[in-house]
Structure 1
Amino acid sequence: MIWSKFNRLTLWLVVLALLPALAGCIRYSFTGTNIDPTVKTYSVQTFQNTASNGPSFLSQRFTEEFKDYFQRNTSLKLVPRDGDLQFEGQIVAYDFAPAAIQSTNGIDQAGVNRLTMQVRVRFTNTKDPKQDFEQTFQSYGDFPATQDIARINNDPVSLRRITTNIITDTFNKSVANW
């Protein structure tokens, strides 16, 4: 069958007319987010440290890392309060305990210590309240027994691994819908 110029032109016009309609149906992000286009802002209240231990800077550092992660991975604007997406919560546990016991010359001692952190997060989506949740997220890191808690607290890389896991899990639950 031979396509006339008129038929090809008509086909292209139909395709061009349908493109805007199809583009409006597709929502995709390279970060895996699934954010409603009406959501423009987010707010993060300071995560208070209600755990009985933990470094004094933990609350501020966790909150700032939380804000930074969302700024890097979404196009949402951070506002001081009342964002379309709202995050708040507490650091409820910060525990350092032996994770693996080893026996040396009949003496039991820690071979590995584990730092476990738990954060309770309340998420409010003002555009879609069905997505609201309150959940405790947990992460841990294992450290040689020769490394004490004071040294780990002063090493931002060690602590950042644990906090990043919690923040990533919160991100996935709130905006990636995993």
Structure 2
Amino acid sequence: MTFKHYIILIFTAVTLTACGAYSFTGAKVNANTKTFQVNFFQNNASLVEPGIDLDFTNALTDLLINQTNLENVNSNGDLVYEGEIVEYRISPTTATADDTAAQNRLTISINVRFYNKQDEESEFEKRFSFFYDYDGTSQLVGSLKTTAIEAIFDQITQDIFNASLAQW
């Protein structure tokens, strides 16, 4: 290696360590934070869709496992996520000339409480919501319902991750 290569290597090492550990997901996790816990998100929506409470709890857990190197624990986690599903609503968004729905929207909202033992200032209670639009002539059943719920959960879990760990 030439002297120029050593300078570039040293500069890169100093830059990366000065900025803390870099994460491709944008997570900013305290070095003392080792574990996370996701408590069961009960479905308290007026319109109850069976099974989405467990599906959401698992989706959030899976995202945290995949995007951090924290250990998932059942109790006494350094980071704790808890809350409830507060809205599951299907509503028309556009109408046709004969007053039928041309498009419907499934909206799911989840209230989240986030606790951080290492950084209490980052704690919050916040409502996260997202929607999925589908053709008004379709029934929200089977693969359409699965696709809609997965798309909504993908967005909401990423929003929760960003708010709690990326602090966006």
Smaller-chain TM-score range? 0.7 to 0.9
Query: Do the aligned partners of 2:106 and 2:148 also contact (CA within 8 Å) in 1?
Result: no
Partner of 2:67: 73
Deviations 1:29-76 (A, max 9, x none): 011111111111000000000002132101001100110011000000
| In structure 2, distance between residues paired with 1:148 and 1:166 | 23
Out of 36, 39, 46, which is 1:42 matched to?
Answer: 36
| In structure 2, distance between residues paired with 1:84 and 1:117 | 28
Partner of 2:146: 156
Task: Report the TM-score when normalising by structure 1.
Answer: 0.83
> What SS does structure 2 have at the residue aligned with 1:120?
strand
Instruction: Work out the percentage of aligned pairs sharing the same amino acid.
Output: 34
Q: Which runs of 5+ in 2 are unaligned?
A: none
Question: Is 1:29 matched with 2:14?
Answer: no
Partner of 1:175: 165
Task: Give the residue type in structure 1 aligned to 2:162.
Answer: N
Shift of 1:147: 1.6
Q: Which runs of 5+ in 1 are unaligned?
A: 1-8
Is the radius of gyration larger for structure 1 or structure 2? 1
> What RMSD, in angstroms, separates the aligned Cα atoms of the two structures?
2.3
Shift of 1:81: 1.6
Query: Do the aligned partners of 2:105 and 2:133 also contact (CA within 8 Å) in 1?
Result: yes
How many residue pairs align between the two structures? Answer: 161
Deviations 1:62-121 (A, max 9, x none): 100110011000000000022100000000000001011111xxx211000000000000
